[in-house]
Chain A
Amino acid sequence: MLNNAGQASLAWVVGASIHKMATRSATGTWNTPMVLPGWGVTAIDGAGDIITIFGQDNASGIPGVYDTRLAAGSST
């Protein structure tokens, strides 16, 4: 997803089990990718706030879906 400021967020999967995401700054720099706990999707709004939704099993093996947000200007 790319906003009008040029910021973007991207998720991808390596094989069947390694899920990753990275973000792009308005100046075009990509940050160091982070590994997601499970499959993930990500989006960025016009203000630069990032939301990532991912799946992860709990301790009992029951799958759950979680969302996490990174406010604009935050780095981690």
Chain B
Amino acid sequence: MAFPAQAASTWSTPVQLNAGPVAVNAAGTEVAIVSAGAGAPTQARPSTNGLTWSTPVIDGSGNAIVAYAGAAGAIRTASLPAGGNWTAVKTLDTTIGSSGAALAVNSAGLVVITRIEPARTVIADSGTVLGGLAAPATVDNGSEVGDAPAAIRPDIYPGHT
């Protein structure tokens, strides 16, 4: 397998993961979600229970946060401090069928999580990766006509500048 050249370096030997979203910050810290077991996420077990994970995001200090939809549609998050262990899972939304959880973080640790409730209401949660989230804000009340669900475009929101 050939990989494109990287400045002043070469690609390392590939390490096999059990598949999952991967994030890396400007300092090169990586977080790969490789399991989806019940409760707090770990990095040791293969994903077998069908939970849907967001791509994790990492702040400038190497702290990561990930969101996932539980089996009943509840949106949950967990954080991974740099060099530490996963925090307890927090539930953002217990509305059945909520979807589209997308995360973004900046280098200072501000995180914005957006999600869509079944009635097409777009909700945003803001806070810090390790410090918790403030009360959610309604971005859009989904008052437009149409019965189809809404979706946040996953190709544009995750990431940081």
Contact = CB atoms under 8 A, between A and B. Distances in A.
- For the complex, would chain A's binding face be called helix, strand, loop or mixed by DSSP majority? strand
Interface residues of B, number: 34
Contacts of A11: 152-153, 156-157
A2 B140 contact: no
B106 A3 contact: yes
- The residue in A4, A10, A12 that gathers the most chain B C-beta atoms within 10 A of its C-beta is A12
Contacts of A10: 114, 122, 124, 139, 152, 156-157
A12 B146 contact: no
Interface residues of A, number: 29
Given A12-B151, A24-B112, A17 B124 contact: no
Contact of A1 (B116, B137, B157): B157
B150 interface: yes
B5 interface: no
Interface in A1-40: 1-6, 8, 10-18, 20, 22, 24, 28, 30, 33, 40
Interface in B99-152: 100, 104-108, 110, 112, 114, 116, 120, 122, 124, 126, 134, 137, 139-140, 142, 144, 146-152
Interface of A: 1-6, 8, 10-18, 20, 22, 24, 28, 30, 33, 40-46
Interface of B: 100, 104-108, 110, 112, 114, 116, 120, 122, 124, 126, 134, 137, 139-140, 142, 144, 146-153, 155-157, 159-161
A-B pairs with the 7 shortest C-beta distances?
A: A15-B148, A2-B104, A15-B146, A14-B150, A41-B156, A12-B152, A33-B140
